[in-house]
Structure 1
C-alpha cells in the first residue's frame, strides 16, 4: 500500500507540472522576461507543444490497449494466434499494424506487454517498425501528400515490408534471450507484481488493475516523450538546415542526410509525408523514401522509449540493423522511382 500511494502521488505531481508547463508554453499572454520572448523562443515553444500534442493521443491509445491486453487477454490467447513459422510470424506482425493503426509512440508500451504475454521478440520488433507505416491512416496521408507522385505511397509500404522481413529474420536467427530491460517494469518490486497478479478475478478488480497499469505506463512512456520532444525542439531551432540542402542530389549523401533529418525531427508517421513532400524539388525520390521509412522505424524520441523497455545492447543492434537495411533497400528502390 505505501508503494502504491507513493507512486500515485508522484503521478499526480508529474501531471500537475506537465499541465503547468503546457499552459505556460501555450499561452501567448503569459508575462515572461524579454529574453524569453525572442523569435527563437517562440518557435521553440511552438515546436515543443506541437510534438507533444501530436504524440500524446497515440501514447494514450497505446497504454490503454496495453492495459487491456494485460488485464483481459491471457498468455494462452496470445500464443494461440502467433504462427510458429518465422515468415508467417512476420506477416502476422505486419497484419497487426493494419488492425491497430498507431504511431510509433503508442507501439512500444503495447509491444512490451505482448512480449510479457508470450509474443516472440522478432515478431514484436517487426510490429514496432512496421506498425507506424503499414496501416491505412499513414498510407492515406502519404498518398495525399504525394498526389503528384502516388508511387511514393506504395513504395513506402513495400520498402517497410522488405526491411521488416530482413530485420525479423535476422532477429529470429540470432536473438534467443529476453531483451527486455526489466520484465516487471511496471512494478516497483516483486511484491507489487505478485499482489496485482492475485488481487482477485472480479470485474471491479480487473477495472482497478486496468487503470493502475494505464497510469504507470503512461507516465513511464510520457517522461521519455517530454524529454525527447524538448531536445528535438532545441535541435530544430538551432540547426541550420538551409546550408545542407546542397547535398540533396547526392547519390548516397542525400539518403544519409534524410536519415539524420528524420531521426532528429522525430515526426509522427501520420504527418511526416507532408514534410517530405516539401523537399521534392531539392532531394531525390529515393532519399525522400528513406526519410519516410527510416523515421517511423527509428528516431530520437522512439530511441529513448526503446531504451526504457529494452536492454541497451539490443537497442544498439536494432538501430544498426534498421540503418543498414533501410539504406540498402532505399538505394535499390532509387532505380525504380
Structure 2
C-alpha cells in the first residue's frame, strides 16, 4: 500500500526564494545614510557656507530646541502608552471611569493632574486609552488636559510669573474648562468614523514583553516622524515672521489676543517651557499671554501633525480648529475674571 501523500492540500508559498532576493535587493536605511555621508563629504565646502547664514542658524536653533524639549516627554508618553495598551486590562477602565460618558469626561480631565508630561506624550496615551475601551470623549479630554494642568507645567508657570501668581490658577482653570467642553462637544457632535486608529498587530503578540517593546518601537517611529515635521514647520515660521510685527499687534487688545493664539500654534513649544516664552512677551497683556498658554498645549503644529498620524486626517481637521476657538474664548473669559 503506497504511503499517503502528505503534501496533498498544502499550498507552497509562491516563489519563496524570489521575495527573499527582492528584499535583499532593496535599498535600506544603511545605504541611504552612507549615500548622504558621501554627499556631505563631497559638498562640505558649499554646505559650510550655507550653514553660516544667521537665518539658517536661527532655524537650526529653534528646530533643535523644540526637539530637545519634546523628545523626553514623547518617550515618557510612548512608554506609558505601551504599558496601557499591553498590561492594563480593559476591565480596569470600566471600574476607574464613570459609566456615563458625560461624567467620564471631567474625571478623565482631572486625571491629567497626576500624569506629568507634555502634548507629545499625551497623544499616544489617548490612542491607547481608546483602544482599551475608554470612550473617545474622555480620552480626548485627557489629551487636552494632561499637558496643561499637570504639576510640572503649573510649577513652571509659577516660576515664570513670580509677580503674578494668579496666572497659575487662571491657566489651570481655563485649561480644565476647555478640556471638559471639548469632551462634551465630542459626545454631542463627534462621530466614531472620524477617528481612524492605525492597525496595531504587534499588540496581539502572545508575549506581553514582546508586545510592549514592539508597541514602543512603533510609537516612537510613528509619532516621532510627525514631531520632526512639526518642529521643522515651527522653526520655519520663527525665521519668517518679523519680530517688529509683535509690538504693533500688542497695542491692539483684540489683535494681541489673536496674535498670541496664532503664535502659540506656530511656535509649537512644549508646555513645560512655554510659560517662560509667555513671560518674555512683556509687551502683551496678561490675558493675551494666558491665551498663549492655554492654546499652545492643545493646538500647535507638531500636535496637529501627531494627531493626524495617530487619529487620522479627518479627525485632526475638525478637532484642532474647534479646540482653537474654544480655547481662545475660554481663556479670554477666565482672564477677564481672574487677571
Specify the TM-score bucket, using the shorter chain as the normaliser. 0.7 to 0.9
Do the aligned partners of 2:278 and 2:292 also contact (CA within 8 Å) in 1?
A: yes
Q: Which of 148, 155, 166 lines up with 1:151 in the alignment?
A: 166
TM-score (norm 1): 0.84
Q: Which residue of 2 aligns with 1:291?
A: 292
Alignment of 1:277 with 2:279, yes or no, is: yes
Question: Structure 1 residues 223, 277: CA separation in 2 closer, same or farther (over 3 Å shift)?
Answer: same
Alignment of 1:71 with 2:86, yes or no, is: yes
Alignment of 1:180 with 2:170, yes or no, is: no
Task: Tell me by how many angstroms 1:244 deviates.
Answer: 3.0
Q: Which residue of 1 aligns with 2:15?
A: none
- Mapping 1:294-305, distance limit 5 Å: 294-305=295-306
Alignment of 1:317 with 2:318, yes or no, is: yes
Q: Which residue of 2 aligns with 1:115?
A: 130
In the TM superposition, structure 1's runs of 4+ consecutive aligned residues that sit over 6 Å from their partners are none
User: RMSD of the TM alignment (CA)?
Assistant: 2.6
Q: Which residue of 1 aligns with 2:235?
A: 233
Cα-to-partner distance string for 1:247-301 (whole Å, 9 max, x where unaligned): 2132321111011100010001011000001112x11111110000000011000
Q: Which residue of 2 aligns with 1:190?
A: none
Partners of 1:253 and 1:279 in 2: how far apart? 15
Q: Which of 169, 177, 180 lines up with 1:165 in the alignment?
A: 180
Partners of 2:79 and 2:123 in 1: how far apart? 12
Do the aligned partners of 2:108 and 2:138 also contact (CA within 8 Å) in 1?
A: yes
Question: Could you tell which deviates more after superposition, 61-70 or 40-49?
Answer: 40-49
Do the aligned partners of 1:159 and 1:293 also contact (CA within 8 Å) in 2?
A: yes
Task: Tell me by how many angstroms 1:308 deviates.
Answer: 0.8
Q: Which of 64, 67, 85 lines up with 2:100 in the alignment?
A: 85
- Mapping 1:122-133, distance limit 5 Å: 122-133=137-148
Q: Which residue of 1 aligns with 2:56?
A: 41
Partners of 2:242 and 2:224 in 1: how far apart? 29
Q: Which residue of 2 aligns with 1:328?
A: 329
TM-score (norm 2): 0.84
Task: Tell me by how many angstroms 1:178 deviates.
Answer: 4.5
Do the aligned partners of 1:249 and 1:284 also contact (CA within 8 Å) in 2?
A: no
Q: Which residue of 1 aligns with 2:65?
A: 50
Alignment of 1:266 with 2:268, yes or no, is: yes
Aligned residues: 308
Task: Tell me by how many angstroms 1:80 deviates.
Answer: 2.2
Partners of 1:102 and 1:137 in 2: how far apart? 8
Question: Could you tell which deviates more after superposition, 282-291 or 34-43?
Answer: 34-43
Task: Tell me by how many angstroms 1:32 deviates.
Answer: 4.4
Q: What is the DSSP-based 3-state SS (H/G/I as helix, E as strand, rest coil) of the residue aligned with 2:322?
A: helix
Partners of 2:143 and 2:75 in 1: how far apart? 16
Task: Tell me by how many angstroms 1:325 deviates.
Answer: 1.2
Partners of 1:231 and 1:289 in 2: how far apart? 23
Q: What is the DSSP-based 3-state SS (H/G/I as helix, E as strand, rest coil) of the residue aligned with 1:131?
A: helix
Task: Tell me by how many angstroms 1:241 deviates.
Answer: 2.4
Partners of 2:112 and 2:165 in 1: how far apart? 21
Which of structures 1 and 2 has the bigger CA Rg? 2
Q: What is the DSSP-based 3-state SS (H/G/I as helix, E as strand, rest coil) of the residue aligned with 1:297?
A: coil
Unaligned stretches of 5+ residues in structure 2: 1-18
Partners of 2:179 and 2:143 in 1: how far apart? 10
